């Protein structure tokens, strides 16, 4: 099993009446709610936590990209990954990822990811999300019905830029480069590639065509993910591919304490903050018309857009969130038991551990992370013994002689 | 009106509505498409031989995948014109269709001789921003589009209820197809450079606006008038953006002035 400690980097100072006063945590949230002085402390705390996760032995440390979003303060995940590249030496740098359709020209992603891979000694794990509609369409103005075509072209350009030894001409519909020439090149050829998906057949096939890892990044937990992941594995089987669990990843909110009761006592308010404040997104921003394919839409359309549904700001309770598996919470043993259910039920080899939650302070975050690392992971580590040697989907860093130790200050 | 599927330039199969007699009129619909038994088109057929294609991406027309840019949409209009061997028809367009019609008139200014733009999209004023149609929920649309939403809301949904989840699901799938197509020229800002091409329009032009248009405010009528030499503005009271449906007779009467 591979465990990545992931930080969404939420803004922890949203007011108590946020949902009543503001329609969305994303896209049009006023930046008067942000305070750069508090932000200074916050970014550095979040980076400390990511570095601490490496010390605890997590296989990867993860960052991602969002725009105008108060629960995801990383418009540029590559800046965070660069900071981490210097201060760590073992963990995979899981950048999940760069929304490749939004970089102009997209060869920028090939270049920056190559830089990260080189600085870190081959520890980059590269995510290529399409990007949410909120980010891609509403914040960055990409035309919804053209996003997927632009994405596919950007993917082709980036992979070719990494692969081709000579400058080449790229005559795309959206990007035209007379001299496509990626300097530097990554150490890994190429870095492992993770693709976030939301259940469309097209994305299953895209991952299988290239042997990329399919990742389901939802906040609604493993019990609700079963049907989608079953669909993925059915497709893997139909395509005649091997069923290595390392072909799949899943994000799960996890909080660990000494006992179940302590978990509720210590983490309840932070879970509440995240699920009831951070996820307050105006439905009009959820899904720009044309962003999803019609096939996907027919299978997944929701009717959360009635006047009544929009007006309903009922909270989700701790009991509901825990019982329905949105959140895995409790003592190390109860968390391990639920994690086993998750791992076998969804057949996943990669877990993105969302252990920092909402407005959780550093001490609680470190305690939960430590308990998970020391008392839960050992119970899960070898859950797929028959795939123990399957290293196709993980990083291949330089060996310890060629790689550098983590940076310390000059003279330090 | 009768309709049929036609093959356009070997590239798209689209549905086209045809009817009436009189001078030829080619109608380009707005982002919402045509309405069921479209009452505005029906009225136009009393004066004209009307040809009204559904764009790719609308109802049972093919996917709009081959259309990406403003030029693609503009050429689609001419491809329909040529496929049906129309003879210098008057061009009429509503909203997004007005934007396409204006582009056609700018592109081929010797063939387009009469033009009626009904609260067209295509221009942008920072001081008078057009609301984000793509972030509106269906139940918010009637208030945005009509002077009298209570009276006319049912037109948008062919009688369905936007607050009924089951109806809404079907609507959202069709809407994603229609608005996904419209987004190619309207998202995120409905400006694809028409302001810089309008000077080419030589057609006799009527600019028709609902005085209570809350989607594209009436001040845009002045901008079109300033950009199209010799054009004439008709401001119609007690009408919003859906002026062809709220004040059908007045709109048709303004259009017919182009032949007087």
Residue A304 scores a pLDDT above 80 = no
- Whether A204 and A173 have beta carbons less than 8 Å apart is answered as no
Residues contacting residue B255 through CB under 8 Å, at least 6 positions apart: B44, B47, B90, B92, B116, B206, B208
- A297: pLDDT confidence band, cut at 50, 70 and 90? confident
Residue A307 scores a pLDDT above 70 = no
What does the pLDDT read at residue A310? 62
Average the pLDDT over A191-198 and give the result: 94
A371-392 pLDDT tens trace: 999 999 999 999 999 999 999 9
Query: What percent of chain A clears pLDDT 70, i.e. is strictly above it?
Result: 95
SS3 for B106?
A: helix
> Is B135–A291 a contact, with Cβ atoms under 8 angstroms apart?
no
| Three state DSSP letters for chain A | CEEEEECCCCCCCCCCCHHHHCCCCECCCCHHHCCHHHHHHHHHHHHHHHHHHHHHCCCEEEECCCCCECCCCCCCHHHHHHHHHHHCCCCEEEECCCCHHHCCCCHHHHHHHHHHHHHCCCCEEEECCCCCHHHHHHHCCCCHHHHHHHHHHHHHHHHHHHHCCCCEEEECCCCEEEEECCCCCCCCCCCCEEEECCCCHHHHHHHHHHCCEEEECCCCCCHHHHHHHHHHHHHHHHCCCCCCHHHEEEEEEEEECCCHHHHHHHHHHHHHHHHHHHCCCCHHHCCCCCCCCHHHHHHHCCCCCCHHHHHCCCCCCHHHHHHCCCEEEECHHHHHHHHHHHHHHHCCCEEEEECCCCCCCHHHHHHHHHHHHHHHHHHHCCCCHHHCCCCCCCCCCCCCCCCCCCCCCCCC
Residue A401 scores a pLDDT above 80 = no
> Is A141–B68 a contact, with Cβ atoms under 8 angstroms apart?
no
Name chain A contacts of B169, Cβ cutoff 8 Å: 301, 303
Least confident of A161-175, A195-209, B38-52, B159-173: B159-173
Of B68, B165, B183, Cβ closest to residue A289: B183
Quote the CA–CA distance of A169 and A346 in Å, as a whole number: 42
B55-77 pLDDT tens trace: 999 999 999 999 999 999 999 99
What does the pLDDT read at residue B154? 82
Average the pLDDT over B196-221 and give the result: 98
Residue A305 scores a pLDDT above 70 = no
Strands B12-19 and A92-95: unpaired
> Is B169–A303 a contact, with Cβ atoms under 8 angstroms apart?
yes
What does the pLDDT read at residue A232? 96
Tell me, what CATH number does B211's domain have? 3.40.50.1820
User: How many contacts does A have with B, using Cβ atoms within 8 A?
Assistant: 86
> Is B168–A306 a contact, with Cβ atoms under 8 angstroms apart?
yes
What does the pLDDT read at residue A38? 98
Total domains, chain B: 1
Name chain B contacts of A283, Cβ cutoff 8 Å: 137
Query: What percent of chain B clears pLDDT 90, i.e. is strictly above it?
Result: 88
Residue of A139, A147, A290 to mutate when probing chain B, most B C-beta within 10 A: A290
Quote the CA–CA distance of B227 and A132 in Å, as a whole number: 38
Residue A214 scores a pLDDT above 50 = yes
Q: Supply φ then ψ for residue B19, to 5 degrees.
A: 175, 170
Kindly list the domain boundaries of chain A, sorted by start residue.
Answer: 2-387
> Is A305–B172 a contact, with Cβ atoms under 8 angstroms apart?
yes
Residue A410 scores a pLDDT above 60 = yes
Mean predicted lDDT score pLDDT of chain A: 94
Tokens coding A258: 């000494």
A70-79 pLDDT tens trace: 999 999 999 9
Superfamily of domain A2-387: Luciferase-like domain (3.20.20.30)
Residue B156 scores a pLDDT above 90 = no
Residue A133 scores a pLDDT above 90 = yes
Residue A207 scores a pLDDT above 80 = yes
A13-52 pLDDT tens trace: 999 999 999 999 999 999 999 999 999 999 999 999 999 9
Mean predicted lDDT score pLDDT of chain B: 95
- A315: pLDDT confidence band, cut at 50, 70 and 90? confident
Tokens coding A69: 């979003």
Of A283, A285, A290, Cβ closest to residue B179: A290
Question: Alpha helices of chain B — where are they, by DSSP H?
Answer: 39-44, 70-83, 96-107, 141-145, 149-156, 165-186, 219-227, 243-246, 248-256
What does the pLDDT read at residue A81? 98
Average the pLDDT over B170-196 and give the result: 94
Average the pLDDT over B127-131 and give the result: 97
For residue B155, what are the domain limits? Answer: 2-259
What does the pLDDT read at residue A306? 65
Residue A156 scores a pLDDT above 70 = yes
- A412: pLDDT confidence band, cut at 50, 70 and 90? very low
Residue B87 scores a pLDDT above 70 = yes
> Is A290–B165 a contact, with Cβ atoms under 8 angstroms apart?
no
Residue B124 scores a pLDDT above 60 = yes
> Is A297–B188 a contact, with Cβ atoms under 8 angstroms apart?
no
> Is A291–B162 a contact, with Cβ atoms under 8 angstroms apart?
no
DSSP one-letter string for B28-49:
E--TT-PPTT-HHHHHHTTTSE
Residues of A with CB under 8 A from a CB of B: 27, 137-138, 141, 143-146, 173, 282-285, 287-292, 294, 297-298, 301, 303, 305-308, 310
Residue A313 scores a pLDDT above 60 = no
What does the pLDDT read at residue B165? 76
Quote the CA–CA distance of A338 and A322 in Å, as a whole number: 11
Quote the CA–CA distance of B258 and B260 in Å, as a whole number: 6
- A300: pLDDT confidence band, cut at 50, 70 and 90? low
Average the pLDDT over A347-354 and give the result: 98
Strands A168-171 and A176-180: antiparallel
């Amino acid at each position: 099993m591979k465990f990545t400690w992931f930080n969404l980097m939420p803004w922890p100072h949203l007011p108590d009446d946020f949902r009543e006063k503001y329609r969305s945590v994303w896209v049009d949230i006023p930046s008067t709610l942000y305070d750069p002085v508090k932000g200074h402390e916050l970014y550095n705390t979040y980076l400390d936590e990511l570095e601490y996760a490496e010390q605890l032995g997590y296989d990867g440390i993860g960052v991602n990209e969002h725009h105008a979003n108060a629960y995801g303060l990383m418009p540029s995940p590559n800046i965070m990954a660069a900071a981490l590249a210097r201060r760590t030496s073992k963990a995979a740098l899981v950048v999940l990822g760069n929304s490749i359709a939004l970089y102009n020209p997209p060869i920028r992603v090939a270049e920056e990811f190559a830089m990260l891979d080189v600085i870190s000694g081959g520890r980059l794990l590269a995510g290529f999300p399409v990007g949410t509609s909120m980010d891609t369409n509403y914040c960055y103005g990409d035309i919804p019905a053209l996003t997927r075509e632009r994405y596919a072209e950007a993917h082709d350009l980036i992979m070719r830029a990494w692969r081709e030894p000579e400058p080449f001409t790229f005559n795309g519909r959206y990007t035209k480069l007379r001299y496509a020439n990626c300097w530097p090149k990554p150490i890994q050829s190429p870095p492992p590639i993770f693709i976030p998906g939301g259940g469309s057949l097209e994305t299953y096939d895209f991952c299988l065509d290239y042997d990329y890892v399919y990742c389901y990044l939802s906040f609604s937990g493993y019990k609700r993910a079963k049907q989608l992941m079953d669909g993925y594995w059915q497709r893997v089987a139909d395509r005649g591919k091997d069923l290595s669990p390392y072909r799949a990843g899943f994000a799960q909110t996890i909080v660990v304490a000494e006992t179940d009761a302590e978990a509720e006592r210590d983490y309840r308010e932070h879970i509440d903050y995240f699920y009831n404040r951070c996820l307050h997104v105006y439905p009009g921003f959820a899904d720009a018309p044309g962003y999803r394919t019609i096939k996907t839409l027919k299978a997944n359309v929701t009717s959360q857009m009635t006047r009544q549904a929009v007006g309903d700001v009922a909270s989700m309770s701790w009991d509901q969130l825990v019982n329905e598996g949105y959140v895995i919470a409790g003592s190390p043993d109860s968390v391990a038991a639920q994690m086993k259910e998750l791992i076998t039920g969804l057949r996943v080899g990669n877990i993105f551990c969302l252990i920092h939650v909402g407005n959780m302070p550093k001490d609680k975050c470190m305690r939960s992370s430590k308990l998970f690392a020391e008392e839960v992971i050992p119970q899960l580590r070898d859950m797929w013994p028959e795939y123990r040697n399957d290293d196709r989907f993980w990083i291949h860093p330089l060996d310890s002689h060629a790689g550098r130790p983590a940076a310390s200050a000059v003279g330090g | 009106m009768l309709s049929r599927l036609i093959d356009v330039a070997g590239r798209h199969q689209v549905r086209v509505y045809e009817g009436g007699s009189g001078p030829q009129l080619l109608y380009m619909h707005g982002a919402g498409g045509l309405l069921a038994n479209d009452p505005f088109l029906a009225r136009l057929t009393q004066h004209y031989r009307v040809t009204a294609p559904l764009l790719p991406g609308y109802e049972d027309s093919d996917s709009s995948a081959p259309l990406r840019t403003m030029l693609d949409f503009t050429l689609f209009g001419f491809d329909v014109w040529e496929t049906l061997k129309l003879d210098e028809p008057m061009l009429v367009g509503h909203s997004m269709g007005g934007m396409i019609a204006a582009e056609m008139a700018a592109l081929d200014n010797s063939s387009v001789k009469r033009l009626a733009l009904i609260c067209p999209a295509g221009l942008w004023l920072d001081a008078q921003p057009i609301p984000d149609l793509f972030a509106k929920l269906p139940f918010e649309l009637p208030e945005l589009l009509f002077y009298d939403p209570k009276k006319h809301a049912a037109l948008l949904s062919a009688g369905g209820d936007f607050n009924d989840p089951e109806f809404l699901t079907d609507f959202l799938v069709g809407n994603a197809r229609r608005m996904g197509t419209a987004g190619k020229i309207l998202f995120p800002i409905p400006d694809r450079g028409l302001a810089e091409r309008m000077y080419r329009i030589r057609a006799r032009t009527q600019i028709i606006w609902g005085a209570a248009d809350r989607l594209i405010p009436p001040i845009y009528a002045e901008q079109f008038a300033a950009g199209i030499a010799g054009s004439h503005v008709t401001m119609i009271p007690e009408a919003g953006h859906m002026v062809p449906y709220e004040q059908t007779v007045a709109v048709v009467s303004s259009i017919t002035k182009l032949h007087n």
